[in-house]
Chains A and B, each alone.
Chain A
């Protein structure tokens, strides 16, 4: 399979400068990005498989002696390309706050408790069909200093590789119908409403495990189209 990566697909992303998100003001380039053709350097990318991931790295609830506090959840879905094909053997890394909205990071100042049984980091590799699955704790919302009474909607950070270095994606997965969406400048930095909806997981009753854990589905769509599409439709 040979892939192409139309630059137009990038219109789904936020613009670098999004003034409501204050940290972007001094960290966004002023000068326009320089367009260029993709060379072999851009069209190839790192290949990391199961050797990168240890048994159990996709279960964030079993990394310590006890169980973490909070609402146990399953997060699963497919890594796909723009044609809808599964992206196999793609490394998926996640990190998140605990159920109280506190990160284990030393610089997180939010006065909510740390959980000795929760680090909040995990990784897995998508299977041959592009499918991935994590077990974790539903993260809490937390305040941040962007503006008065600013709160981030609950989210899980994701990092995904895909077929080439230009498919590299770091994003955040949100939960359905979060009341904080209208007030979050990071969520709303994505200009298109349909594109914002692609960052929101859906509740998955079918795969919710009775007496155990709620399930959320989140498909991750990376850049990349078949370079030789079928013409006979």
Chain B
């Protein structure tokens, strides 16, 4: 039925709104189950387990308590759990996707593994990174950014970080806490220290 219809464009985005929690991130507070959690960890996953956490701020520096964040990443060998990645995925049950709603103080956190190296279109290595999509009330379309890791030497040669003015790269770099597998990265939707967002 209608299979030959050629669309005249894509469906436009609209804001996720303020009231998505009971549908997308209920976390036990509503009569609905979670399709996703804020963890990509599976029993058989290999690699360095890390936590990434931070807060989300608006242009006035006020915390954003109604954001939804989603991450997408490769496994520790740099391979994606998607058949479009033709390389074998050794971590059979690892999916590489997680979702988190910010709390009343704007906090988010993800439990995951540090991803491996993924090639760019020229075959050049990219430093370990996680894709991050930011949704929220007031945001008519979600924004895309990346999370890099402060303790990776490969950041200096990363072809995507190279596109970003040097003084703004810190907004993409999660900083490791001393002695713990925890990285911190705050997101600023607007302002002088605004997070770098990509046009993808």
Chain A: residues with CB nearer than 8 A to chain B?
A: 2, 5, 7, 9-10, 12-16, 18, 21, 23-48, 52-54, 63-64, 78, 80, 82-84, 86, 91, 93-95, 97, 103-108, 119-123, 129, 155, 157, 159, 163-166, 168-172, 186-187, 189-190, 192, 194-196, 198-199, 219-223
Residues of B near A18 (CB, < 8 A) are 140
CB distance from B99 to the nearest CB of A (A): 10
Partner of B9 from the list A9, A32, A64, A106 (CB cut-off 8 Å) is A9
The answer to whether B13 and A34 touch across the interface, beta carbons within 8 angstroms, is: no
The answer to whether A186 and B198 touch across the interface, beta carbons within 8 angstroms, is: no
The answer to whether B13 and A169 touch across the interface, beta carbons within 8 angstroms, is: yes
* Residue B176 CB within 8 A of the other chain: no
Residues of B near A29 (CB, < 8 A) are 143, 189-190, 194-195, 197
Partner of A186 from the list B14, B26, B62, B160 (CB cut-off 8 Å) is B14
Number of A-B residue pairs at CB separation under 8 A: 259
* Residue B39 CB within 8 A of the other chain: no
CB distance from B164 to the nearest CB of A (A): 6
Give complex CA distance A2, B197 in Å.
Answer: 26
* A5, A23, A38, A170, most chain B CB atoms within 10 A: A170
5 A–B pairs (Cβ distance < 8 Å), ordered by A: A10-B10, A12-B9, A34-B199, A40-B118, A129-B3
B80-103 interface bits toward A, Cβ cutoff 8 Å, 1 = contact, 0 = none? 111111000000000111000000
The answer to whether A28 and B139 touch across the interface, beta carbons within 8 angstroms, is: yes
Give complex CA distance A2, B190 in Å.
Answer: 36
Residues of A near B81 (CB, < 8 A) are 46-47
Residues of A near B72 (CB, < 8 A) are 41, 44-46, 165
The answer to whether A95 and B144 touch across the interface, beta carbons within 8 angstroms, is: no
Give complex CA distance A166, B81 in Å.
Answer: 16
Residues of A near B137 (CB, < 8 A) are 23, 27
The answer to whether A170 and B200 touch across the interface, beta carbons within 8 angstroms, is: no
CB distance from B26 to the nearest CB of A (A): 8
The answer to whether A198 and B22 touch across the interface, beta carbons within 8 angstroms, is: no
Chain B's interface: helix, strand, loop or mixed, by majority? loop
B125-145 interface bits toward A, Cβ cutoff 8 Å, 1 = contact, 0 = none? 010010101011111111110
Residue ID in chain A nearest B196 by CB atoms: A34
Residues of A near B35 (CB, < 8 A) are 48, 52-53, 91, 93, 123
The answer to whether A26 and B190 touch across the interface, beta carbons within 8 angstroms, is: yes
The answer to whether A36 and B163 touch across the interface, beta carbons within 8 angstroms, is: yes
CB distance from A42 to the nearest CB of B (A): 5
Residue ID in chain B nearest A170 by CB atoms: B16
Residues of A near B199 (CB, < 8 A) are 7, 10, 32-36
Residues of B near A164 (CB, < 8 A) are 84
The answer to whether A35 and B141 touch across the interface, beta carbons within 8 angstroms, is: no
The answer to whether B138 and A21 touch across the interface, beta carbons within 8 angstroms, is: yes
* B10, B19, B21, B121, most chain A CB atoms within 10 A: B10
Which parts of B3-27 form the interface with A (CB within 8 Å)? Answer: 3-24, 26
Residues of B near A106 (CB, < 8 A) are 29
Residues of B near A220 (CB, < 8 A) are 11
**CB within 8 Å for A171 and B197 given contacts A26-B59, A189-B140:** no
